[in-house]
Amino acid sequence: MPTETVDELAAIRAEALRGPGDRATEAQHAKGKLTARERIALLLDAGSFKEVEQLRRHRATGFGLEAKKPYTDGVITGWGTVEGRTVFVYAHDFRIFGGALGEAHATKIHKIMDMAISAGAPLVSLNDGAGARIQEGVSALAGYGGIFQRNTRASGVIPQISVMLGPCAGGAAYSPALTDFVFMVRETSQMFITGPDVVKAVTGEEITQNGLGGADVHAETSGVAHFAYDDEETCIAEVRYLIGMLPSNNRENPPVVPSDDPADRRGDVLLDLVPADGNRPYDMHKVIEELVDDGDFLEVHERWATNIICALARLDGHVVGVVGSQPLSYAGVLDIHSSEKGARFVQFCDAFNIPLVTLVDVPGFLPGVDQEHGGIIRHGAKLLYAYCNATVPRISLILRKAYGGAYIVMDSTSIGADLSYAWPTNEIAVMGAEGAANVIFRREIAASDDPEAMRGQLVKEYKAELMHPYYAAERGLVDDVVDPAETRHLLIRSLDMLRLKHADLPSRKHGNQPA
């Protein structure tokens, strides 16, 4: 092969790698943002990236596009490894057309998504784009449609992670919403359907981009973002950590990591951590820390719907999904947002063969006009549906309160939990003793010479008869009442027994889950 031919290839490749030049790179850095290639280098193992269609250029004409045809067309696509496991990636290059999506740009993304689905490997999108390329008209919109269709086809087949590192406006925001996890970086990433200018023109409200769709807004208020970080380096490092806990696809199990934390380690601290008094709060995070390997877990949606905790952790090196009531937030009641949060997490774990451990201390569903009018019935049903539909190993542990419909919804035996355990402090009932006594013995209390004394006596009798710690065990509603200090070992042994669980669902195209 002539040397000049190879030299020409090297020169073209160097131009593609260089991109639009130093000035554009400096402008990107001045905004506190890395370039697309710098981001990919942080995400993937060193030297593992293999780019696809590096030399692709658009074919559009008009509006000056024919004179500007950069290599890559503003998106870098390819695959590499994270801790030695294959991962596919695409990254918008904001330096080229502002990362805006055109026909060639979209076709590259479609191809890498198809490759990820075929290869059965996770897909990470590093988003930093200005939306559809207006100069290419409806072709750009059709490109987004192809992305959405593939996001949906890949759902539950391969893990999909969206990392928001710049603006994402209009229809483009629906792709991250269709993926499994959304990461955002404060100050530099925003997501919204209509921007501040449109909001002001239509409603008269004035708001900044970050105030409308910044990382903190979506991590705390809307629930669109699962994770939010202060800088890109930390954000991308956490993406790598998450990938390390996930299987490559729905046909595999999550990777197992040898643990130095003894499986039979006693948790004596648990004896004092959870107060026997059901009205006293405590932090469920501390319970999770005591149970899982090395106290290490990754909480999902940490700052949204804080009355329920959803986390990925390991028990004896095996990944588990932990769902837990949080008594420190609204006493751990279930409401609209916590039901949605829990349901989505349960569905994800079930799709990717991650066993579920549910820690229950729930006083019921949150009462109120806003909750009822907001649809707590259908939203609560989402969590119920997710658990009922899950075929992965499922273990529930009742630490303290488990009242009413919330007890059923939080993976009770009656909806298919494989094993249900309880601590000696458990109270499983239709409602709290005081409320129950007021309903059952309303007339006796009203007719008494001393209603308060009578109420106190009847509450005590109700507790003794129907709410003692062994009532549920006597009726087979829990499999055992256990010593809190032995919980970790019990969970590990139980999950080991359930490792090869197989469950058949009725033949159907798909269910019709609550809206």
Give the active site residues.
170-171, 405-406
| Residues in contact with 313: Cβ distance below 8 Å, sequence separation at least 6, in sequence order | 288, 292, 293, 296, 297, 298, 319, 320, 322
Q: Tell how far CA 399 is from the center of its chain.
A: 24
> Judging by beta carbons within 10 Å of its beta carbon (0-12, 13-18, 19+), is residue 66 exposed, middle or buried?
exposed
User: Of 434, 425, 442, 422, nearest to 462 (Cα)?
Assistant: 434
Residue 436 to residue 445: CA distance in whole angstroms: 12
The secondary structure of residue 396, as a DSSP letter, is E
Alpha carbon distance 451, 40 (integer Å): 71
Say if residues 40 and 79 touch (Cβ distance below 8 Å).
Answer: no
What DSSP state is assigned to residue 255?
P
First-to-last alpha carbon distance for the chain, in angstroms, is: 62
CA distance 243 to 252: 14
Burial of 132 (0-12, 13-18, 19+ CB in 10 A): buried
- 332 contacts 321 by C-beta, under 8 angstroms: no
Contact predicate 380/403, CB 8 Å: no
10 contacts: CB under 8 Å, gap ≥ 6? none
DSSP labels for 91-126? EE-TTTGGG-B-HHHHHHHHHHHHHHHHHT--EEEE
- At which residue do the structure tokens 């877990």 appear? 297
Residues paired with residue 420 on neighbouring β-strands, in sequence order: 396
**CA 114 vs CA 120, 253, 413: distances in Å:** 10, 22, 40
Q: Which residues contact 25 (CB under 8 A, 6 or more apart)?
A: 19, 35, 95
Sequence-ordered list of residues with C-beta below 8 angstroms from that of 382, at least 6 positions apart, any chain: 339, 340, 343, 513, 514
Report the amino acid identity of residue 250.
N
CB 489 within 8 A of CB 263: yes
The answer for 79, left when phi > 0, alpha when psi is -120 to 50, beta otherwise, is: beta
CA angle 321/326/327 to nearest 5° reads: 155
